[in-house]
Amino acid sequence: MFHKFDLGGITRELWLTPTATGYRLNVLDAWSGPIALTDEGTGRGRLTVAGFSEAVAFVVDGDLIHIHMRGRTRSLRYLDPLRVLASVDSDGGHNVARAPMPGTVVALKVAPGDAVTTGTVLMVIESMKLETQIRASQDGIVERLHVKDGDSFDRDAILVTLLQGT
C-alpha cells in the first residue's frame, strides 16, 4: 500500500519494505534504496541513505513531521487515507474558503444567504500589517460564516462555506 506525504504542496507516494538489516524506501516513480535512522533520543539521529549518513533533528506532531537536515527545515504532512476520504465526502456540493495565512477578521462583507459570484469579496482579513481580501472562488450562496469580526484564526482554517450553484 502507498503512503502519501505532502512536501511543499506536492504529494509524494512511498512505501517501506523490510530488509534483513532495516528498510528499503520506495518513492513512486523516483527512487528506491536502503535507508536507516538511528534515534539518538530527543528527536536527534543520523539518517543513512544508500550508505551516506548525516545528522537530522525531527519532531512528530500529529500528522506533521518537522525535520531539520542539511541546514534546512521542512514540514511534511502525512496524508492519512481515511481522513482524506472523509474530507472529500463532507465537502460534496460545498465550497470552502480557507485562510491563506493566520490572521484576524477585519470586516465581513457578506451574510449567510447572500448570492455571490466568482471574485466577490467575502471578507477582509489582516495578517500582521497586511490586509487581504478573501474572494469567492466560484458562484454560490453563502451558507455559513465560520468567523466573526475580530476573530483570530490559523492558516487553513475554514472561513466561509458556500453552497454551490442554485
Partner 1 sequence: MAAASLPFDTVLVANRGEIAVRIIASLRKLGVRAAIVHHEIDAAAPAVALADVAIKISGKTPVSAYLDGEQIIAAARAAGAGALHPGYGFLSENAGFARAVAAAGIAFIGPTPEVIELMGDKIRARNFVARGGFPVAPSAIEEDDPSTFLARARSIGAPLLVKPSAGGGGKGMRIVRDLDLLDDAVAQARSEGQRYFGDGRLYVERYVEKPRHIEVQVLGDAFGNVVHLFERECSVQRRFQKIIEETPSPALSAKMRQSICETAANIARAAGYRNAGTVEFIFGGEEFYFLEMNTRLQVEHPVTEMITGVDLVAEQIAIAANRALPFRQSDISARGHAIEARLYAESPERGFSPTSGKVLMLDYPREQGVRVDSGIAEGQSITTAFDPMLAKLIVHAQTRDAAVTKAIAAVQDLVLLGCETNADFLARVLGDPGFRNGAVHTGYLDENPEIASGPNDAPDDVTRFLAVAALVTRPVRDAAEAVPALHAAIGRWRN
Which positions touch partner 1 (CB under 8 A)? 1, 3, 5, 7-8, 12, 14-20, 23-27, 30-31, 35-37, 43, 47, 49, 56-61, 65-76, 78, 80, 100-104, 127-130, 152, 154-155
Q: How far is the CB of 133 from partner 1 (least distance, A)?
A: 13
Rounded to 5 degrees, φ, ψ at 104 are: -135, 145
Residue 139 per-residue DSSP state: S
Q: At CA 152, angle to CA 150 and CA 157, rounded to 5?
A: 130
Q: How far is the CB of 141 from partner 1 (least distance, A)?
A: 29
Q: How far is the CB of 157 from partner 1 (least distance, A)?
A: 11
Burial of 119 (0-12, 13-18, 19+ CB in 10 A): exposed
Q: How far is the CB of 94 from partner 1 (least distance, A)?
A: 25
Q: 44 or 144: whose CB is closer to partner 1?
A: 44
Across-strand partners of 132?
125
Length of the chain: 166
Q: 8 or 113: whose CB is closer to partner 1?
A: 8
Q: 23 or 163: whose CB is closer to partner 1?
A: 23
Q: How far is the CB of 161 from partner 1 (least distance, A)?
A: 23
Q: 95 or 102: whose CB is closer to partner 1?
A: 102
Q: 30 or 85: whose CB is closer to partner 1?
A: 30
DSSP string of 45-109, one letter each residue: EEEEETTEEEEEEEEEETTEEEEEETTEEEEEEEE-HHHHHHHHHHTTTEEEEE-SSSEEEEEE-
